[in-house]
Amino acid sequence: MLIDAAKGIEDRTRKLFEVCKLRKLPIFTFTNKMDRPSLTPWDIIDQLEAEFALQCIPMNWPIGSGSDFQGVLDRATNEVHLFERGNRRKKVDANVVALDDPELAEIIGEELYTQLQEDVEMLDGVTPETDSELISTGEQTPLFFGSAMTNFGVELFLQTFLLYAHKPPARQALSGDRLGINTGMCACVHVCIRLHSIPWLLVNKS
């Protein structure tokens, strides 16, 4: 389920959710366009939980938004994936920095660093445990933030999708034999096609 970070839930989002709810499909949510002026991640969560009664599990967390967008924190590894915007960013040795790296405050700025620390403490206190059963029934949604147009945050989304998504069943061959399926590859191809079509859709929609 794709969410516009600036607009939040839209009519097409509601239609997609109704289909998923009717079929009891797992819902993986990607909040897009974080590199543009947007709602706060807390606002996005409030909307999803209030309107869809979804239990949101932020798998990563944005650092700033719009022109101040610095990247996302991968909550599973406590690593900050830095967003590169042209040549504005100060040169760093790696695109990934540990949350406890003493240079992180200098890299992303003191204000955003302080906000990130407060957000992490809040998330650790209020976020429920990830439950694969609740994810499979569409009651709990892994939530991601990023920028599909620049392919930022998509890899983190894919990794979690492959971990929790339903595996496709074996198919009956014409000969009557059951065909084995490389489930990981099958799921990966499907989600890659879907996600890599997002930039095209966004461009053509505008």
pLDDT, tens digit, 9 for 90 and up, residues 2-35: 999 999 999 999 999 999 999 888 999 999 999 9
Query: Is pLDDT of 149 > 80?
Result: yes
Predicted local confidence at residue 86, as pLDDT = 57
What domains lie within the chain, and their CATH numbers?
Answer: 2-169 (3.40.50.300)
pTM: 0.78
Report pLDDT for 127: 95
- Site of tokens 């499907």: 190
Assess contact for 136 and 164: CB atoms under 8 A.
yes
Q: What residue type is assigned to position 179 of the chain? A: L
pLDDT at 53: 95
Instruction: Note the pLDDT of residue 88.
Output: 43
Per-residue pLDDT at 175 exceeds 60: no
User: What per-residue confidence (pLDDT) applies to 165?
Assistant: 75
Q: What is the mean pLDDT of residues 151-161?
A: 91
pLDDT band at 132 (very low <50, low <70, confident <90, very high): very high
Report the pLDDT value the prediction gives residue 163, as an integer from 0 to 100. Answer: 85
| pLDDT, tens only, 52-105 | 999 999 999 999 999 999 999 999 999 999 998 754 444 444 599 999 999 999
The reported pLDDT for the residue numbered 199 is 44
